Structure 1
């Protein structure tokens, strides 16, 4: 029979020591960084099937991991906050692109349920996938919605995801209009990957929250299907690709993505009109399946190329003497 001695790191001493180490890492920046990097490596290895190189990142997911660990752009927490981002988006592209909002509350029980329409979306502002779609208020269990919102409000999403931008977001509940898609259900999701201020990849999600959900990738300017991810438009002859109205999204995403090295900008198209969904800085938590290591590398190179071009354009503007009011080339 094996007996673990005090100080051996096992048995009755293991849990207190782990709690102490976690508490210390929470307060000491460099320890927290080491812990987060180790966690990311394990997570990515399990999800993607390759050992990530976080010292010399090349793939899309390796670059997202470095963004999680290093990028401290102060706009990241603001734009992850689903309440605060609304004013920021309105200032850059206009209020007309915001989903109608019924209200913001700090407690679920303060929501005036009886005053809400029959369909709405309730969500919290401080995390990912904290959404409840209420398609029929009359048949919805009100107490279940309140319990779920309270549970999310009790969580700090940073403790789950270890993604810096979520660490200090003040927690609130918001209720938005339930958007109807072309078939009356949840609308398609248009996600533009913006690198160096330029949209380089468009992902369209059909059939969200259904067994028929599928994800297609396109060139965001030509709408040419791309061989990325697990689904191919060619395997679904009924898919005609993005509608012509989706061409509006390119410039809108570029304006919203300009302050960041990389960000994903999400939109809906409702009767041909773009509505802003969210900004995502940590797409897939550095574990997004793109179909293969080679495809992951291909998207990572899109990111790197966009930053190189952005750097060259910035250098040209700085060198151009010109005359007053005369812009630099490009």
Structure 2
């Protein structure tokens, strides 16, 4: 009897592989009502529970957009469909040239691609693969990546409801480089519109995004380096030189945001040119950390 008791007491607990536990966790999360999911996610990322009934902060108001998006957000968040809107507003010269928008990514499509390109998906964030030299990658690698992207329901990531209506597509763009051969900085212009005197704009500039020294710096329209951090990007010790075409960057953003009370306009500005990146209506999905935290409240006052 003692032996049987001992064996019972020391029977090892059944261990599940990590991927199984992760799948169970994801299934449980997917069943949560969107307001509950977003409340818990906001608390995890921001450190406080949001007020969804009387939102005051920037993040709280973005959470409301997640739950009740403007119908226009669907096409304008689709990285392919938005190109027509951009062409009407600022001209096709500001669009990064497309290489291919295949119905399916096949080996024939891969073989026809140039030596350098960017592969993207249209229905969410961070679906980007930069290929500087096609000989350094393979069809199999890109095909697996494309399949994973296409299988991702981006709505379930952070309950941004307008992404549910976007049909996933893979597409290929020209690789944008500056005259030194570097990928240009990513200008993310937070534009608060609906004002007689023009929009209030803050610029988050992401440098070396695909390298090993990524920084994120916030500037006002006069290129003052602000003591603000957005997200988890580290500030640079020394601000970047004022872009020669800063006025063109700001003018382009102002044209693209004039139909909205708020939108983040992403642009690239290599060698005194300006290219469109994307429009984002729910940046950070409403769980975007600010340092200092008071900026969350200040920007909340700017957003109607």
TM-score by length of 1: 0.77
Matches of 2:268 and 2:58 in 1, distance apart?
Answer: 24
How far is the alpha carbon of 1:92 from its aligned partner?
A: 0.9
Matches of 2:180 and 2:215 in 1, distance apart?
Answer: 16
Contact 1:122 1:174 in 2 (8 A): yes
Contact 1:181 1:188 in 2 (8 A): no
Matches of 2:297 and 2:108 in 1, distance apart?
Answer: 46
Q: How does 1:61-80 map to 2 (within 5 A)?
A: 61-71=59-69, 73-80=70-77
Matches of 2:270 and 2:259 in 1, distance apart?
Answer: 27
Partner SS state of residue 271, structure 1:
helix
How far is the alpha carbon of 1:231 from its aligned partner?
A: 4.2
Matches of 1:275 and 1:85 in 2, distance apart?
Answer: 14
Contact 1:195 1:261 in 2 (8 A): yes
1:82-128 Cα deviation digits (max 9, x unpaired): 11111111011100100011110121116622222211001111111
Partner SS state of residue 266, structure 1:
strand
1:291 aligned partner: 291
Residues 44 and 109 of structure 1: CA distance in aligned 2, closer, same or farther (over 3 Å):
same
Residues 211 and 50 of structure 1: CA distance in aligned 2, closer, same or farther (over 3 Å):
farther
Matches of 2:106 and 2:267 in 1, distance apart?
Answer: 30
Aligned partner (choices 135, 158, 162) of residue 161 of structure 1: 158
Partner SS state of residue 150, structure 1:
helix
1:278 aligned partner: 278
Report whether the alignment pairs 1:81 with 2:82. Answer: no
Aligned partner (choices 53, 56, 64) of residue 54 of structure 2: 56
Question: Structure 2: which 5+ runs fail to align?
Answer: 1-7, 9-23
Q: How does 1:164-183 map to 2 (within 5 A)?
A: 164-181=161-178, 183=180
Contact 1:204 1:217 in 2 (8 A): yes
154-163 or 56-65: bigger deviation? 154-163
Matches of 1:78 and 1:44 in 2, distance apart?
Answer: 26
Contact 1:121 1:176 in 2 (8 A): yes
1:166-217 Cα deviation digits (max 9, x unpaired): 1111221110011114642321001111112524211111111233111111
Residues 52 and 182 of structure 1: CA distance in aligned 2, closer, same or farther (over 3 Å):
farther
176-185 or 125-134: bigger deviation? 176-185
Matches of 2:299 and 2:254 in 1, distance apart?
Answer: 17
Residues 203 and 241 of structure 1: CA distance in aligned 2, closer, same or farther (over 3 Å):
farther
Residues 223 and 102 of structure 1: CA distance in aligned 2, closer, same or farther (over 3 Å):
same
Contact 1:106 1:171 in 2 (8 A): no
Q: How does 1:1-330 map to 2 (within 5 A)?
A: 22=31, 35-71=33-69, 73-109=70-106, 112-181=109-178, 183-197=180-194, 198-220=199-221, 222-229=222-229, 231-233=234-236, 235-236=237-238, 239-304=239-304
1:126-160 Cα deviation digits (max 9, x unpaired): 11111111111012122110111012112221233
How far is the alpha carbon of 1:232 from its aligned partner?
A: 4.3
Residues 39 and 242 of structure 1: CA distance in aligned 2, closer, same or farther (over 3 Å):
farther
Higher helix share: 1
Length, aligned pairs only = 272
Matches of 1:80 and 1:270 in 2, distance apart?
Answer: 24
1:28 aligned partner: none
How far is the alpha carbon of 1:59 from its aligned partner?
A: 1.4
Question: Structure 1: which 5+ runs fail to align?
Answer: 2-14, 23-31, 305-330
CA RMSD in angstroms, aligned pairs only: 2.2
1:323 aligned partner: none
1:309 aligned partner: none
